Structure 1
Amino acid sequence: MTKILKEMNEKMTKILDYFKKKMAKLRIGKANTDMLDDITVEYYKNKVPLYHLSSIEVINSKTILIKPWENKNLSLIEKSIMKSNIGIIPINNGRFIKLVIPSLTEERRKEIIKSNTRKLEQAKIRLRNIRRYYKYKIIKYVSEKDFIEKYKNDVHEATKEYIYKIEKIFENKKQEILKN
């Protein structure tokens, strides 16, 4: 039975980790290289992650500098950033690309919080679906009523713990968005 609970915890941890990554990539008016993680560049007919073709560094709280390993990739990187819809216009000076992160308006802050509240709810729904699945699995494989209730309670408590962790991550990000 502990195998089932361990399996459930692994799945819930994956959801938690995914949610953490999504929150880390949010553009909140501060330079953060995580926002570029999903950008791929069309390089010799292959999609290559941006960080494979260049160095990426945060210069200050509002500026990211991208220096390609090869100068010929500069325009490819610039096009990929434009296509990525991260909401930042790259500045190409012929040797590197500079991304200046614009400050957020109050309206944009509320919009970001609203859209990420939906992501929070989706993560909570996924956790509840896992809870439902494992409660069913316990009923199916455990024969003694006392153990069924104990394991169902363990599943419920684990779910509550993961939901609390996700809400805490979201609340911290929300405060960060409102503060900056």
Structure 2
Amino acid sequence: MTNKNFFLKEIKEKMKPILSYYKNKMSKIRIGKANHEMLDDITIEYYNNKVPLYHLSSLEVINSNTILIKPWEKNNLSLIEKSIIKSNLGIIPINKGKFIKLVIPSLTEERRKEIITSNKLKLEQAKISLRNLRKDYNKKIIKEFSEKDLIEKSKKEVHEATKESISKIEQIFENKNKEILKID
């Protein structure tokens, strides 16, 4: 027979990547402030390989709305510029010959609302992932245990772990929305 705490430990471990992924997605949302993390997903086609931007250049946040990208090799400037344009960041790179300057525009009220709507969808997707995980573990618990009390206790523990994780992502969501709505 499986240790009754096994399912609880296992589901908590399986929830960590969902929380981490959600937190990572929220941290990359552009909110009108320069942040090098917003460039983490940009890859450059370099000798038939997709290479992360930060492998080909240095990134420097010089003030609250400007990032400088300094390629290690000057001939990568146009490749980097094209990749930024394709990335759908909504930022037009300014090629200065030796570096690329990114000026992060302030968000309009309409754009802030669009971002919050998009964030709600991401929040719901994360909640669905957590609930599906709970559903899968409830099925495992029923298969593993025969004692009704043990099944109910285990299901309750799994439910509480799910509730706790959902609360964490909701807090991340609320914090990000406060940040988005804050007008500088």
TM range, normalised to the smaller chain?
A: over 0.9
- Cα distance between partner residues in 1 of 2:117 and 2:77: 35
Per the alignment, residue 82 of structure 2 pairs with 79
User: Percent identical across equivalent pairs?
Assistant: 74
Aligned mate of 2:17, from 14, 20, 30: 14
Aligned residues: 180
SS in 2 for 1:47: strand
After the TM superposition, which residues 109-120 of structure 1 pair with which residues of structure 2 at under 5 Å, given as runs? 109-120=112-123
What is the SS of the residue equivalent to 2:157? helix
Aligned to 2:158: 155
Runs of 4+ displaced beyond 4 Å: none
1:143: how far off? 1.5
Task: Give runs of aligned pairs for residues 25-44 of structure 1, distance below 5 A.
Answer: 25-44=28-47
Q: Where in structure 2 are the equivalents of 1:44-123 lying within 5 Å?
A: 44-123=47-126
Deviation, 1:2, is 2.5
- TM-score, normalised via structure 2 length: 0.96
Q: CA deviation at 1:108?
A: 0.4
Partner of 1:129: 132
Give the aligned CA root-mean-square deviation in angstroms. 0.8
Structure 2 residue runs of 5 or longer lacking an equivalent are: none
Question: CA separation in 2, counterparts of 1:71 and 1:81?
Answer: 16
The runs of 5 or more residues in structure 1 that have no matched partner are none
SS of the residue 2:30 aligns to: coil
Instruction: Map Cα deviations across residues 56-91 of structure 1 (whole Å, 9 max, x no partner).
Output: 111100001100011111111011101111000000
| TM score, norm. by length of structure 1 | 0.98
